[in-house]
Amino acid sequence: MRVLLIGSGGREHAVAWKLVQSQKITKLIIAPGNAGTAELGENVPVKTEDLDGLLAIAKTRSIDLTIVGPEQPLIDGIAELFERHGLRIFGPSKNAARIEGSKIWSNDLMSKYGIPTADSVAFSDSTKAMEYALARPEGSLVVKADGPAAGKGVLLPDTYEELEIAVVGMLDGASFGKSSSRLLLAERMSGPEVSVFAFLDGETVSKEIAACDYKRIGEGDTGLNTGGVGAYSPPEFWTSELAARIRAEILEPTARALVAEDSAYSGILYAGLMITSTGPRVIEFNCRLGDPECQVLMPKLKNDFLEICLAVVEGRLAQQKVIWSDLACTFVVMTSDGYPGNYETGAEITGIRKASEHGLVVHAGTSIQSDGTLITDGGRVLGVVGSGETIRDSLIAAYAGVGKIGFKGARYRRDIAERAV
């Protein structure tokens, strides 16, 4: 079977690593991929936003199944486009991807179907939004741009002044363009956060799996937000009771709600949750695997990933048992100095082979020069997934691997998964 994988990050390298273990796969093409995926398949230089270019590759290269990594092509309707051309694709339709593409749509869905989330109100007028906010305690609200904003569309102001800057910036200053022409003011919840994933095929929800990610650049969750600089699974507070509650109160009702709203979901659903004093509540949904969570989940998946994707695409997930192992995994990301602000690229990377003795090296922002030198080519450069019986074993392995890798300006957090030990 010939597979096209769309994306270029660590998530896609981890998926590619898992895919090539399938007995079914005969060819893997990654668009556009990175230096890590180039070792597992053939990279083609087509961008993830170029839907027509991706369609052309799928056709000319006789692709049997396309797997979509990032959200944007899904939000833009790549699933319908491929299906119109008779091509099979793993990932939700444009309608279903609204669960990530529009925070207001997603919030309306949750409130209509009683799925626990933060109390939220939508606004398009900054004066009305401020009137609402000023009637509530200072620091009790979160500001969320409606549309996609590269992970930067959520602001947590502590004062009315900061809140006003956020609201006015989004609605009147179009700080996120069209994505912030409307926003949500949401109740600020508190509690540990967890990312929960399941394969969905209409009302069928596979066995779920949980991971925690690290978004801040600095140790102790300080500094700027990033795309994610570490992850581990399982979370230290994860129990079968909590998992059962999340299934019954969030995952299954959401799958049913999407079907009822003519937006049946097919793919992987990512529920970002907060475990509050009143129980698990949704922070946000995403229509894809998480990055960096995916990197600690792929080694735990006992099934052939391709077989599950096919079961979902063919509408027979109910007959496909999804099994996750108890393996503990920790992923530590190495970044370029300056990230998430400005940083340099082009630094030579050494030590990959030695690092591989300790864990799975996953590339994100890397590329290979014509002379074969591996160089940095992004903010999140690469990382190591350590695994073992316990989180402690896994983080020791991950850091042993990271310690072997060198490049100019390399940075990484020293506290990934520490709280779980």
Q: Where along the sequence are the contacts to ligand GLY (CB under 6 A)?
A: 151, 213, 228, 286, 290-291, 293
Selected binder of ligand AMP within 58, 166, 283, 355 (CB under 6 A): 283
Q: Which does 188 bind (CB under 5 to 8 A by kind): ligand AMP, ligand GLY, none?
A: ligand AMP
Shortest Å, Cβ 117 to ligand GLY? 17
Closest to ligand AMP by CB, 165 vs 301, is 165
- Radius of gyration of the chain, Cα coordinates, nearest whole angstrom: 21
Chain centre to alpha carbon of residue 47: 18
Contact 320, 314 (CB under 8 A): no
Asked whether position 271 contacts ligand AMP by CB under 6 A, the answer is no
CA separation (Å) from 71 to 75, 78, 290, 391? 6, 10, 10, 29
Q: How many CA atoms lie within 13 A of 242 on its CB side?
A: 22
Selected binder of ligand AMP within 55, 142, 257, 258 (CB under 6 A): 142
First to last CA, the chain: 42
Q: Which does 15 bind (CB under 5 to 8 A by kind): ligand GLY, ligand AMP, none?
A: none
Which listed range, 61-69, 184-192, 337-345, 346-354, lies at the site for ligand AMP (CB under 6 A)?
184-192
Shortest Å, Cβ 84 to ligand GLY? 28
Which residues, 206 to 225, sit near ligand AMP by CB under 6 A? 215
Shortest Å, Cβ 212 to ligand GLY? 10
Shortest Å, Cβ 324 to ligand AMP? 23
Closest to ligand GLY by CB, 29 vs 196, is 196
Q: How many CA atoms lie within 13 A of 139 on its CB side?
A: 3
Cβ neighbors of 194 (< 8 A, separation 6 or more) are 210, 211, 212, 235, 237, 238, 273, 275
Q: Which does 189 bind (CB under 5 to 8 A by kind): ligand GLY, ligand AMP, none?
A: ligand AMP
E runs forming strands in 287-354? 328-336
Shortest Å, Cβ 158 to ligand AMP? 12
Shortest Å, Cβ 272 to ligand GLY? 7
Shortest Å, Cβ 264 to ligand GLY? 23
- Neighbour tally for 312: CB within 10 Å: 25
In the numeric block, the tokens 């992004």 are attached to 378
Number of residues that bind ligand AMP (CB under 6 A): 13
Instruction: Please tell me the distance from the alpha carbon of residue 295 to that of residue 17, in angstroms, as a whole number.
Output: 10
| DSSP strand pairing (328-336 vs 222-233) | antiparallel
Cβ neighbors of 101 (< 8 A, separation 6 or more) are 71, 75, 94, 147, 148, 287
Closest to ligand GLY by CB, 36 vs 228, is 228
Sign of CA dihedral 7, 9, 15, 16: positive
Closest to ligand AMP by CB, 33 vs 153, is 153
Shortest Å, Cβ 281 to ligand AMP? 8
Please give the angle made by the CA atoms of 270, 183 and 268, to the nearest 5 degrees.
10
Q: Which does 293 bind (CB under 5 to 8 A by kind): ligand GLY, ligand AMP, none?
A: ligand GLY
Q: Which of 305, 275, 292 is nearest to 65 (CA)?
A: 305
Instruction: Please tell me the distance from the alpha carbon of residue 298 to that of residue 294, in angstroms, as a whole number.
Output: 6
> DSSP letters of 72-109?
HHHHTTHHHHHHHTT--EES--HHHHHHHH-HHHHHHH
Closest to ligand GLY by CB, 123 vs 379, is 379
Q: Which of 147, 159, 150 is nearest to 184 (CA)?
A: 147
Asked whether position 272 contacts ligand AMP by CB under 6 A, the answer is yes
Q: Which does 284 bind (CB under 5 to 8 A by kind): ligand GLY, ligand AMP, none?
A: ligand AMP
Closest to ligand AMP by CB, 14 vs 283, is 283
Per-residue binding letters, 22-51, with ligand AMP (x by CB under 6 A): ------------------------------
Shortest Å, Cβ 284 to ligand GLY? 8
Shortest Å, Cβ 157 to ligand AMP? 11
Asked whether position 193 contacts ligand AMP by CB under 6 A, the answer is yes
> DSSP letters of 184-200?
EEEE---S-EEEEEEEE
Which listed range, 171-179, 185-193, 255-263, 329-337, lies at the site for ligand AMP (CB under 6 A)?
185-193
Binding site residues, ligand AMP, CB under 6 A: 118, 142, 151, 154, 186-189, 193, 215, 272, 283-284
